Amino acid sequence: MKLTAQQTERIRVTMLSGSFECDSEDSLTVLIGYLRENAPIIESQLIVYQSENDSPSLELLDRDTDVLLVFARRLNVSGSELERLKQYGATGKPIVGIRTASHAFQQWLEFDSEVLGGNYNGHFSAGPRCKVEKAVPEDAILDGVLPFESHSSLYRTGPLAADARVLLNGSTDDHSEAAAWSRVCDNGGRVFYTSLGQQKDFWELDFLRLIENALLWAAGQAPVSA
């Protein structure tokens, strides 16, 4: 995604890492390195959960956060920190979710349907690599993203929210599901989610471009497609 001369203001992205089965900390470290090289206007700050019951401060969501990226799985976030997360979403601030973000917070499983616009219902058994293809011919989030094969097992994601715009479809020999989509919530918040994100996906340049573009779009650096 090419930026105009006016699109130079920094974008502060706060990343929540807490998906241990997906090695999210290592994967997000790869992503941060890629962004530094290819999208220097994005400044990444990483909050790492050491266990499902860890409780690091989320004060960054009250300030210094333009986009929240969630790559976590069944964290037992509660109390004031859970309220911070809910308030962030309620005020229409941008959110990008990766893979297990569909079930990121054990005390807020509705995050999937209410915010991401998905309907996580497990995944198909491991098998052939998932083929990923564009669902729409042109979209700012898909700029420079070519069809690729994902190492991720295919999630059952549907039915999606009515306002979800499917961007990528994933398919195996037997199944097909939406693998990435965007939506603009009623409160104006831009939301992107992809069910992809297995460790080796972060070594696929097209996957990294997808997340880069999603962060820029979520921050308002690209138009909403019709």
Which residues have CB under 8 Å from 162's CB, separation 6+?
A: none
Domain CATH number, residue 95: 3.40.50.880
CA 224 from centroid of its chain's CA atoms: 17
CB-based contact 214:141 (threshold 8 Å): yes
Query: Per residue in 134-166, is it b (16+ CB within 10 Å) or e — as a string?
Result: bbeeebbbbbebeebebbbbbbebeebbeebbb
In a domain, 145, yes or no: no
Amino acid 4: pLDDT: 43
In a domain, 80, yes or no: yes
Residue whose pair of structure tokens reads 């999630």 in the numeric block:
155
The one-letter code for the residue type at 222 is A
The one-letter code for the residue type at 53 is N
What domain range includes position 99? Answer: 11-120+180-218
In a domain, 211, yes or no: yes
Amino acid 21: pLDDT: 92
Residue whose pair of structure tokens reads 């915010």 in the numeric block:
115
Q: Give the SS3 label for residue 107.
A: coil
One DSSP character per residue, 10-50 reads -EEEEEEEE-GGGTHHHHHHHHHHHHHHH-TTEEEEEEE-S
Which residues have CB under 8 Å from 104's CB, separation 6+?
A: 16, 18, 19, 70, 72, 73, 74, 75, 97, 111
In a domain, 132, yes or no: no
In a domain, 150, yes or no: no
| The model scores a pTM over 0.75 | yes
Q: Which among 61, 57, 70 has a CA at the least distance from the CA of 16?
A: 70
Indicate the number of domains in the chain.
Answer: 1
In a domain, 198, yes or no: yes
d(CA 196, CA 188): 25
Amino acid 8: pLDDT: 57
In a domain, 28, yes or no: yes
In a domain, 73, yes or no: yes
pLDDT, averaged in runs of 10, over the chain (226 residues): 54 97 97 96 96 96 95 97 95 96 97 96 70 85 91 90 94 88 93 95 95 96 70
CB-based contact 167:181 (threshold 8 Å): yes
